[in-house]
């Protein structure tokens, strides 16, 4: 399985998907060109300088011809000086001008491309983080990250290099052909007959060899994965005496690598032979034909030299077109995938910090009225069926039930990650759709079972609950969450780096950081989603004390498996298969001998004993 994932990743990096170029795809991609508008003056100037640079490039062989003609006592270009020294100095001046033009052409193209790409990256990222949760539930993080990294990098390469090079090579190709025809129609015709078919064959051959090389790289990556898996699980390998199996597995892979490499070497040898025999042979044939034309006075020596320069221009342009076209195809494909994100309908969340203030206060009263819900990705499965309950301001309401009964879904609905297909959710008697998402989420906090910490410091992770908080407020929140003591036990204190996803902290420490973060946010409604289910007894005691502090004077929705943690709840709701089957206090529910709550409580009590 791991090998499959690694191979897929390598292939994705090696070859981005290409899109067919047609009116529809070009129309879509043209939307991204709108990002060039703010920089269109610089872009037009860069195109102008590109055109001038290409013209100077085409003039260079004519300067060489003029030098040769002048050396033979002929003056072919009236606009140029009549001496070798004069032509040389004129050439140096032209080259200095081209150097100047080329510098600013590259600088301006890159400037336009980088600035416009920065705008595209910003808008794509902003769109991503404002998309609804359903979008993320149907896609992998790696795929979305690829949209911003690999796809936009491909667009970046195209804007900074490919487009400019495609225009430049096209000018050199067309201009070179035209000037070759003015020098010798016969020689130009012979070259067009001989060279293009050979270049096409060489390109096809080259692609085939690159494909074999990628196969060898993939197989080598697979063999390296065998080494990594074996060494990481060496204890398991030895415990099951599977050294011989792993050795055979690795040996088979490296043999395959060798066989593919040898196959590639054979085709590379054939390719080199083809280049030597056919392409170079064609060049020799053209030179021989040119010599015949010179001997028959149909072509001058200076014309032959000039023709050779233009032939190199044309040949180089022809050889570059396939790769440039392939890069454009990749960029179009990448653009389509980026546009898919930009076209998604996002949530009504502002990305401006100045628009993040609370405009409509929530006191804490929460009501579910006949709520029915199914996840958009699985519409055929009803998760909540006609659920109704009330939580008064400051009340503690616990939700219990077997796994898959819909408890965490209710938390997601309160946070407006999803919206019910039927029924209403109200805050203080006002339907949720009459509040902005910013107002709701600013006043609802969640402490989940699996706490997600960012890779920065403890201070930064607590401050995430309220970005405007000062250090004194953060320390006070940590003290109330029973976190200050363990934080100060670290040498760096609040500046301690927690590592990716908080791996440097224990489960209980992460939970207390999350509680401090929620305390700093000071929400009107608090959701505790299995907040102590995976902790040892001492950590659970510390976290439970912090939770008691957190739940003071605010509406609390407690989702729990451990029924011992919710006995003091004002109301307990029992869910089964998305329906509320019981509701009441602990004392009321425990007396119902046929009730699910009593059954679950008995199971847990017997499990403890």
Instruction: Tell me the two tokens of residue 465.
Output: 């609950």
> Which DSSP symbol is given to 241?
T
Domain assignment present for residue 306? The answer is: no
Kindly state the greatest CA–CA separation across the chain: 119
* CB atoms closer than 10 angstroms to residue 380: 6
> In this predicted model, what pLDDT tens digit does every residue of 247-272 receive, in sequence order?
888 888 888 888 888 887 887 788 77
CATH of the domain at 159: 1.20.1560.10
* CA 51-54-58 angle, 5° bins: 135
Whether 278 is in a domain gets the answer yes
Please answer whether residues 362 and 419 qualify as being in contact, where contact means their C-beta atoms are separated by less than 8 angstroms. no
Task: Report d(CA 545, CA 515) in Å as an integer.
Answer: 11
User: Does 388 reside within a domain?
Assistant: no
The mean pLDDT value of the chain amounts to 80
Q: Are residues 197 and 292 in the same domain?
A: yes
Contact (Cβ atoms closer than 8 angstroms) between residue 585 and residue 572: yes
Measured at the CA of 312, the angle between CA 310 and CA 317, to 5 degrees, comes to 95
Q: Is residue 226 part of a domain?
A: yes
Per-residue pLDDT, 371: 92
Tell me the CA distances in angstroms from 247 to 5, 227, 237, 253, 315, one per residue in order: 22, 10, 11, 10, 50
Measured from the Cβ of residue 146, the count of other Cβ atoms closer than 10 Å reads: 19
The answer to whether residues 206 and 271 touch, using CB atoms and an 8 Å cutoff, is yes
pLDDT at 562: 67
Tokens of 80: 């140029």
The total number of structural domains in the chain stands at: 2
Q: Which tokens sit at 35?
A: 């990002």
Give the C-alpha separation, 279 to 275, whole Å: 5
Question: Does any domain span residue 109?
Answer: yes
- Using CA of residue 597, residue 598, residue 604, residue 607, what is the dihedral sign? negative
Give the pLDDT band (50/70/90) at residue 8: very low
Residue carrying the six token digits 């207390």:
512
CA distance 31 to 152: 15
Provide mean pLDDT across the span 234-253.
85
pLDDT category of residue 3 using cuts at 50, 70 and 90: very low
Residue with more model confidence, 372 or 274: 372
136 and 231 belong to one structural domain: no
C-alpha 599/C-alpha 609 separation (Å) is: 16
**Residues 18, 276: Cα–Cα separation, whole Å:** 32
Q: Are 364 and 393 in contact (CB under 8 A)?
A: yes
Give yes or no for residue 589 having a pLDDT over 80. yes
9 confidence band (pLDDT: 50, 70, 90): very low
Q: Domain check: are 154 and 260 in the same one?
A: no
Contact 386, 102 (CB under 8 A): no
Are 29 and 169 in a shared domain? yes
**Residue 449 has what DSSP assignment?**
S
Is 90 exceeded by the pLDDT of residue 424? yes
pLDDT at 14: 43
DSSP 346: P
Neighbours of 290 (CB within 10 A): 24
Say which range, 38-42, 154-158, 234-238, has the weakest mean pLDDT.
Answer: 154-158
Q: What range defines the domain where residue 112 resides?
A: 22-183+320-347
Burial-class residue 461 by CB neighbours within 10 Å (0-12, 13-18, 19+): buried
For the ranges 30-44, 198-212, 504-518, 545-559, the lowest mean pLDDT is seen at 198-212
Top-confidence range, 8-12, 149-153, 215-219, 256-260: 256-260
pLDDT digits (tens, 9 = 90+) for 591-604: 877 778 788 777 76
Q: Is residue 94 part of a domain?
A: yes
Which DSSP helix (H) or strand (E) runs through 180? helix 163-183
Residue 584, phi then psi, degrees to nearest 5: 160, -170
Residue 372 has pLDDT above 90, yes or no: yes
Q: Verify that 198 and 86 share a domain, yes or no.
A: no
Span 528-545, mean pLDDT?
69
* Same domain, residue pair 229 and 275: yes
Predicted confidence band of residue 169 (pLDDT cuts 50, 70, 90): confident
Q: Which is more confident, 433 or 222?
A: 433
Shared domain check, 160 and 40 = yes
Report if residue 506 sits inside a domain.
no
pLDDT of residue 16: 55
Closest CA to 343 of 185, 127, 551: 127
Task: Give dist(CA 328, CA 321) in Å, integer.
Answer: 10
Residue 362 backbone phi and psi in degrees, to 5? -115, 125
Are residues 163 and 175 part of one domain?
yes
Q: Mean pLDDT lowest for which of 53-67, 68-82, 415-429? A: 68-82
Higher per-residue pLDDT: 77 or 131? 131
Note whether 139 and 218 are same-domain residues.
no
More confident residue, 69 or 369: 369
Query: How large is the average pLDDT for residues 166-186?
Result: 84
* pLDDT at residue 607 tops 70: no
Evaluate whether residue 481 is within a structural domain: no
What is the C-alpha to C-alpha distance for residues 293 and 189, in angstroms, rounded to an integer? 13
CA-CA distance, 351 to 127, in Å (whole number)? 9
63-105 per-position pLDDT tens digit: 777 777 777 777 666 566 667 888 788 888 888 888 888 888 8
In this structure, the answer to whether residues 112 and 129 fall within a common structural domain is yes
Domain check: are 239 and 282 in the same one?
yes
Q: Is 56 in the same domain as 140?
A: yes
């Amino acid at each position: 399985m791991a090998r499959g994932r690694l191979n897929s990743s390598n292939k994705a990096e090696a070859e981005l998907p290409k899109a067919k170029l047609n009116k529809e795809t070009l129309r879509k991609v043209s939307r991204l060109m709108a990002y060039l508008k703010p920089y269109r003056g610089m872009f037009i100037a860069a195109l102008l300088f590109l055109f001038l640079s290409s013209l100077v490039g085409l003039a260079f062989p004519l300067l060489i011809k003029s030098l040769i003609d002048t050396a033979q006592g002929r003056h072919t270009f009236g606009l140029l000086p009549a001496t070798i020294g004069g032509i040389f100095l004129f050439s140096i001046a032209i080259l200095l001008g081209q150097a100047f033009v080329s510098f600013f052409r590259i600088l301006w193209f890159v400037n336009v491309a980088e600035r416009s790409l920065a705008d595209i990256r910003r808008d794509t990222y902003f769109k991503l983080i404002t998309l609804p949760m359903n979008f993320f539930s149907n896609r992998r993080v790696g795929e979305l990250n690829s949209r911003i990294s690999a796809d936009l990098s491909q667009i970046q390469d195209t804007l900074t290099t490919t487009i400019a090079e495609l225009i430049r090579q096209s000018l050199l190709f067309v201009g070179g052909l035209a000037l070759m025809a003015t020098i010798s129609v016969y020689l130009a015709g012979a070259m067009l007959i001989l060279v293009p078919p050979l270049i096409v064959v060489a390109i096809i051959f080259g692609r085939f060899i690159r494909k074999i090389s990628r196969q060898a790289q993939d197989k080598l990556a697979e063999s390296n994965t065998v080494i990594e898996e074996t060494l990481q699980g060496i204890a398991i390998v030895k415990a099951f005496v599977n050294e011989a199996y792993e050795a055979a597995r690795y040996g088979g892979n490296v043999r395959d690598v060798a066989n593919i490499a040898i196959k590639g070497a054979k085709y590379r040898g054939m390719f080199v032979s083809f280049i030597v025999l056919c392409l170079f042979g064609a060049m020799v044939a053209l030179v021989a034909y040119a010599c015949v034309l010179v001997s028959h006075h149909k072509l001058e020596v200076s014309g032959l030299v000039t023709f050779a320069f233009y032939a190199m221009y044309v040949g180089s342009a022809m050889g570059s077109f396939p790769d440039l076209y392939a890069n454009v195809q990749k960029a179009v494909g990448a653009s389509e995938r980026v546009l898919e994100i930009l076209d998604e309908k996002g949530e009504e969340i502002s990305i401006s910090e100045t628009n993040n203030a609370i405009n409509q206060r929530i006191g804490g009263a929460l009501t579910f009225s006949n709520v029915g819900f199914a996840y958009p990705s699985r519409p055929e499965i009803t998760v909540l069926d006609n659920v109704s309950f009330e939580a008064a301001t400051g009340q503690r309401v616990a939700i219990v039930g077997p796994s898959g009964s819909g408890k965490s879904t209710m938390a997601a609905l309160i946070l407006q990650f999803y919206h019910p297909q039927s029924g209403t959710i109200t805050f203080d008697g006002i339907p949720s759709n009459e509040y902005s998402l910013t107002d709701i989420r600013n006043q609802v906090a969640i402490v989940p079972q699996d706490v997600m910490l960012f890779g920065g410091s403890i201070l930064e992770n607590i401050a995430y609950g309220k970005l405007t908080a000062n250090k004194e407020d953060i320390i006070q929140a940590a003290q109330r969450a029973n976190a200050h003591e363990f934080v100060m036990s670290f040498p760096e204190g609040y500046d301690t780096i927690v590592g990716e996803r908080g791996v440097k902290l224990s489960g209980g420490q992460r939970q207390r950081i999350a509680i401090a973060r929620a305390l700093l946010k000071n929400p009107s409604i608090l959701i505790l989603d299995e907040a102590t289910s995976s902790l040892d007894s001492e950590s659970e005691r510390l976290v439970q004390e912090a939770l008691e502090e957190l739940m003071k004077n605010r509406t609390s929705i407690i989702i729990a498996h451990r029924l011992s943690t919710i006995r003091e709840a004002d109301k307990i709701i029992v869910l089964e298969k998305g329906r509320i089957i019981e509701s009441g206090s602990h004392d009321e529910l425990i007396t119902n001998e046929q009730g699910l709550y009593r059954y679950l409580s008995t199971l847990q009590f017997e499990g403890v004993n």
